[in-house]
Structure 1
């Protein structure tokens, strides 16, 4: 089996325009695809990707020591195993589920209502730039207990952190910029962490400051790394998933009409959006020993990139995998936000996304608010749809037109709960 398709490069501009055009070819001709420019292997079959993500001893997260730790300012959850991983993951999960989750949902509603209100009388909005991106930052800052007035600079620093993690071929200048962003973010968080140790609240930073591992409180560096971890993980996928959900529903008006008539179908629409167009497209691992996939050998020490988007469209697992279908029987909505999910948008195994339940609640809440408000929603005339990103991917913008609401209608609470 060849280790590369000579006519395909994952790093090419042609691939970047629409990666999904190449998924089937890679799965069929080069399911173990080697990119010499970055000395890395790309796996595209569902079976192979799930194997790598669930066997954390044979395929470790050691690559994150280089890809993430410099900007996270310390080790992140995905780098941990054993008792340390269990204890620290539990802290984060507790802050994103149960009663805490209900408090976060209230923050989601309040911020979403404030952001959407000015656009309702206009009948036009860019769901990415005007709404999705600022909402994701606002909600994450609320979870962490950070000052909402700092959202613009925190978002700018976080953007540099994410660029470092997701960039496969950063120039020295961009690398320096990203590291500068990380240093400024750490400097911003340092006095916050010190204050929360003295006067803790109910926010996640306070919980991290109060937590112990093996009887020892976490250091400021440990707390900083986990805070930056949550900041990057919570903001990056959220706006992409919301925009992609609306794009798919608008492009499939019969399914949009069904979801409007029966809001109980909304979770299925979100799950199918995550399957067909996962915001996180690549997940890195390192092979600890020679590994064979379908006759091709990946050598020990090699970097492997799991192609989540390609695996989620594998016809061996999903019928008509390139079709958006909220009724597909092979998805299983009830398990799509759990460790038993058939799709791999949240990863799998030990390091499955810690915020899956929070992501579901956030997107369900926001989409449930917007659908009644954006009556006759459609793509704005003349707008050109474009996606960007290789590691994480989503719409650059999503200009939408809808029936304007009068000031009286907008203020009456139709679909908005403050």
Structure 2
């Protein structure tokens, strides 16, 4: 049966975007499973239920091809069963061995080329006495560029094509967030896919002939059940890497810094002990996850809280709601990187308490990569900026439903350089 929909919050509204947790609290307590007409999907909001549907066999990814598949193609996100397991076994070693020392040169180069010149320009106003504090937007100068630069390095893409990769990344990101179905956004996303395909397919052929140590070469030579991946499968992997590897990390960086800036005692603790960066990141993945919803499809009729979700129905698992469930977390609306019910040691595995990286067989394959990037990137900020705070008069505004973050994070600081 359907739960009555008259009082179902409109999660697609601007009001919801301003503060999603108002609706999420209502859903968790009043309608933990409910049909939402606007998205033609069932919303599931409690931690135990979201975890169950992510980990078990009651849902699948069959509806993926209707949306993100138009851009990415057939990727591991779409697969289930043995096929998914085979692809995960191929991908996991490529990401789980990511080490901070391997990434540090790339991050350092990006910081030196893109961030530090702008940081120095802002700091000059302090050095000349023009201003008491320097100010800068960390998103446009740093967070928005760093992850895509790391991905370019891992794929061994030429630096002179950076503007093209960034443009494709922005077009893909806009496509994934296009809840209104804006045709212009769709057209730009499909055009970016066509451009990237035209560039990447010859590159895959080159890497098959002369492989290197990069991920494209490894994927081009990889085999599943004795068969090499097709050019289209490798291309799909590249497009997914450019989007998922960039978008979620830059948003996680912005959200974590915002959380720390709004809790200066915890920011001070992180500055004094850099090992706590990981704790702050794990708590951010619970408190303000950059991916707030996981879309699934019912593989069978599912009974939850007196509601029948029919086989084939769309399901939106509200990760951002589940991560604030008081049944799982003590004082869930408090950002507390020292909390005992969100284990840091398990925070980057399928056994994590938070669901920010999903869980089960679709646990984020890039979790360790994101951890390494954020450890280095945050350390570089703390090394170069003291007295860090939100800029005077700046009001941060997180936005987004499926993926959420801040498009601007203007901070004031004193230069350490």
Q: Distance in 2 between matches of 1:293 and 1:29?
A: 13
Partner secondary structure for residue 283 of structure 1: strand
Name 1:110's counterpart in structure 2: 109
1:273 deviates by 0.9
Q: Distance in 1 between matches of 2:86 and 2:152?
A: 23
Q: Which residue of 2 aligns with 1:84?
A: 83
1:374 to 365, 370, 385: 385
2:332 is aligned with 1:321: yes
| 277-286 or 37-46, larger mean C-alpha shift | 37-46
Secondary structure, counterpart of 2:411 in structure 1:
strand
Other-structure match for 1:399 = 410
**3-state DSSP of counterpart to 1:388:** coil
* Alpha-carbon shift at residue 323 of structure 1 (Å): 0.4
**Inter-partner Cα distance in structure 2 for 1:243 and 1:173:** 27
Alpha-carbon shift at residue 5 of structure 1 (Å): 5.7
Please point out which of 132, 138, 148 is paired with 2:143: 132
Aligned pairs, number: 404
3-state secondary structure, aligned to 2:414: coil
* Whole-angstrom distance in 1 between the partners of 2:275 and 2:98: 22
Give the Cα–Cα distance (whole angstroms) in 1 for the partners of residues 28 and 338 of structure 2.
25
Match of 2:70 in 1: 70
1:358 aligns with 2:369: yes
Cα 1:99–1:292 shift into 2, 3 Å = closer
Which aligned segments of 4 or more residues in structure 1 are displaced greater than 3 angstroms?
Answer: 1-5, 81-84, 99-102
* Contact map agreement 2:252 2:284 (CA 8 A) in 1: yes
Deviations 1:260-289 (A, max 9, x none): 122222211111111100000111000022
Aligned-partner SS, 2:387: coil
Distance 1:3 1:61, change over 3 A: farther
- Cα deviation for residue 299 of structure 1 reads 1.5
Q: Normalization by structure 1: what TM-score?
A: 0.92
8 Å Cα contact 2:255/2:284 also seen in 1: yes
Q: Residues 101 and 143 (structure 1 numbering): CA distance in 2 closer, same or farther, change over 3 Å?
A: farther
Match of 1:48?
49
Q: Residue by residue, what CA displacement relative to the aligned partner does 1:106-130 show, whole Å, maximum 9, x if unpaired?
A: 3223323433311333232211111
2:295/2:315 contact within 8 Å kept = yes
Partner deviation per Cα, 1:199-253 (whole Å, 9 max, x = no partner): 1111100100111122121111010011112221110111111111111111111
Matches within 5 A, 1:87-166: 87-98=86-97, 102-121=101-120, 122=122, 123-166=134-177
Distance 1:5 1:238 in 2: 37
Per-residue CA shift, 1:121-151, capped at 9, x if unaligned?
3232211111101111111111111112212
Q: Of the candidates 372, 388, 398, which is equivalent to residue 399 of structure 2?
A: 388
Q: CA deviation at 1:7?
A: 5.7
Give the aligned partner of residue 25 of structure 1: 26
Residue in 1 that maps onto 2:227: 216
The reply to whether residue 61 of structure 1 matches residue 56 of structure 2 is no
Once residues 340 and 232 of structure 1 are traced to their aligned partners in structure 2, the CA distance between those partners, rounded to angstroms, is 25
CA distance in 2: counterparts of 1:27 and 1:6, whole angstroms: 13
Structure-2 residue corresponding to 1:228:
239
Unmatched runs of 5 consecutive residues or more in structure 1:
411-418
Note the aligned Cα RMSD (angstroms).
1.7
* Cα separation, 2, equivalents of 1:331 and 1:66: 34
User: Please, what TM-score do these two structures have when normalized by structure 2?
Assistant: 0.92
Moved more, 259-268 or 136-145: 259-268
Give distance in 1, aligned partners of 2:202 and 2:100. 26
Give the C-alpha shift of residue 327 in structure 1: 0.8
Does the 8 A contact of 1:164 with 1:178 survive in 2? yes
